[in-house]
């Protein structure tokens, strides 16, 4: 019988690609003057699950926040489009990185071990977001484990200009050229809003939360092919509380515009439905608008209430609800197995918008 052999590779390179990625603490290359500055360190937390058990999670804390640690998931980072961003990162408990998911900086600032380095004790990341939108940041070391352990947070890039709509003072994106920008009916250019619901869906396999930092990196079988999620959360709130916890409920005045930012931080297929009409106005940090000169080739798209939107793992969607009518609205996430597509047992988490 014919054998298809794998290509010949250099054992040293094999080793640094996987088992022993390059660790370093370089000075930021081509460093320039910053306009916004953040700091992050590595921390761990115990988080309550629905059945009362507590599991260990890891994440990024802001050392400037007193009272030991900031919450899990890690604190939202918010910057403005066009700002030179610096984040001083000081990992502890071994090497980690920060990957600015959806942001496209140089490789040294991308936070991926095998294409640059993992941070041993300190590094200052540098980038300059060119486009307002919804992003994530997360550790990219042994990512399969560190992402599941909760090393992520939301990153939002806001537009530079102020909203022209005083009733809806925030703004999803700059309408850089109104004259050449066409939009779908019902859409106000730039999607101004008064209230914002930011929802990150996650699933948890408790077995993984007992593993070591480097588990499985050097060829041993530690079961990272077996993911059997038991708990389902939004923004770190288990699904027994998501309809009442303030971290997963948004209150607004009826008649205002509401923006919903969705992200899937689970390892499941995530099906989301809203029981109110919404417009998809942004995907993965890129607004939907038609402007050939700017390389934008899509219109906002209506997501009629009750329609299922599948959010791939680590994808983001921004949904815009114009002039929300008075009422309570559910944002329902159903978690399905990534192979069988069967819904997981108890695999549903519901967030709420309350318009009064």
- Choose among another protein, Cu ion, none what residue 17 binds, the Cβ cut-off being 5 to 8 Å by kind: another protein
- In the bound state with another protein, the residue whose beta carbon lies nearer, of 37 and 338, is 338
Neighbours of 184 (CB within 10 A): 14
- Choose among another protein, Cu ion, none what residue 96 binds, the Cβ cut-off being 5 to 8 Å by kind: Cu ion
- Specify the stretch interacting with another protein by CB under 8 A; choose among 50-58, 127-135, 192-200, 236-244: 127-135
- 36 makes contact with another protein (CB under 8 A): no
Which string of x and - marks every residue 151-190 that binds Cu ion (by CB under 5 A)? x---------------------------------------
- 2 makes contact with another protein (CB under 8 A): yes
Of residues 165, 186, 328, 330, the one with CA closest to residue 256: 165
- Choose among another protein, Cu ion, none what residue 315 binds, the Cβ cut-off being 5 to 8 Å by kind: another protein
Query: How far, in Å, CA of 298 to CA of 313, rounded?
Result: 22
CB of 94 to another protein, least distance (A): 14
- Number of residues this chain uses to bind another protein (CB under 8 A): 86
- 256 makes contact with Cu ion (CB under 5 A): no
Among the listed residues 108, 132, 189, 349, the single contact to another protein using CB under 8 A: 108
Query: How far, in Å, CA of 20 to CA of 217, rounded?
Result: 8
**Residue ranges in 210-229 that form contacts with another protein under rule CB under 8 A:** 215-227
CB of 245 to another protein, least distance (A): 27
CB of 111 to another protein, least distance (A): 9
In DSSP notation, 234-288 reads: ETTEETTTTTT-TTTEEEE-TTS-EEEEEEE-SSSEEEEEESS-EEEEEETTEE-
- Choose among another protein, Cu ion, none what residue 178 binds, the Cβ cut-off being 5 to 8 Å by kind: none
Among the listed residues 9, 66, 68, 356, the single contact to another protein using CB under 8 A: 9
- 316 makes contact with Cu ion (CB under 5 A): no
- Read off the DSSP letter of residue 324: P
- 101 makes contact with Cu ion (CB under 5 A): yes
Of residues 296, 36, 321, 318, the one with CA closest to residue 176: 296
Beta bridge partners of 321: 258
- Cα 12-13-15 angle, rounded to 5 deg: 65
The CA distances from residue 106 to 31, 126, 152, 164, 230, in Å, are: 12, 9, 20, 34, 38
Neighbours of 94 (CB within 10 A): 14
- 73 makes contact with another protein (CB under 8 A): no
- In the bound state with Cu ion, the residue whose beta carbon lies nearer, of 140 and 271, is 140
Query: How far, in Å, CA of 61 to CA of 65, rounded?
Result: 8
Three-class secondary structure of residue 180 per DSSP: helix
| Binding interface with Cu ion (CB under 5 A) | 96, 101, 139, 141, 146, 151, 314
């Amino acid at each position: 019988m014919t054998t298809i052999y794998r290509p010949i590779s250099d054992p040293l390179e094999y080793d640094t690609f996987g088992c022993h990625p390059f660790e370093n603490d370089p000075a930021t290359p081509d460093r320039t003057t910053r306009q916004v500055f953040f700091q992050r360190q590595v921390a761990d937390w115990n988080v309550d699950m629905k059945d009362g058990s507590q599991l260990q999670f890891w994440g990024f804390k802001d050392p400037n926040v007193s009272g030991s640690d900031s919450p899990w998931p890690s604190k939202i980072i918010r910057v403005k489009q066009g700002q030179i961003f610096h984040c001083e990162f000081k990992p502890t408990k071994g090497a980690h990185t920060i990957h600015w998911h959806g942001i496209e900086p140089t490789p040294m600032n991308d936070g991926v071990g095998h294409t640059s380095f993992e941070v041993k004790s300190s590094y200052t990341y540098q980038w300059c977001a060119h486009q307002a939108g919804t992003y994530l940041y997360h550790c990219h070391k042994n990512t399969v484990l560190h992402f599941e352990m909760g090393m992520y947070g939301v990153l939002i890039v806001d537009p530079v200009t102020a909203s022209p709509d005083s009733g809806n003072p925030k703004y999803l994106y700059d309408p850089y050229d109104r004259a050449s920008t066409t939009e779908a009916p019902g859409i106000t250019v730039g999607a101004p809003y008064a209230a914002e619901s930011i929802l990150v869906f996650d699933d948890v396999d408790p077995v993984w939360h007992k593993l070591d930092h480097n588990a499985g990196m050097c060829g041993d079988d530690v079961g990272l092919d077996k993911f059997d999620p038991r708990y389902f959360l939004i923004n770190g709130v288990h699904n027994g509380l998501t309809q009442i916890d303030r971290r997963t409920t948004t209150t607004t005045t009826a008649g205002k515009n509401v923006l919903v930012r969705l992200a899937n931080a689970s390892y499941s297929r995530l099906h989301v439905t809203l029981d109110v009409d919404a417009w998809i106005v942004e995907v993965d940090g890129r607004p939907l608008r038609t402007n050939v000169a700017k390389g934008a080739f899509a219109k906002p798209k209506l997501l009629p209430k009750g329609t299922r939107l599948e959010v791939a793992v680590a994808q983001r969607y921004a949904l815009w609800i114009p002039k929300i009518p008075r009422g309570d609205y559910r944002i329902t996430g159903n978690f399905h197995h990534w192979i069988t597509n069967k819904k997981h047992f108890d695999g549903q988490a519901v967030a709420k918008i309350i318009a009064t």
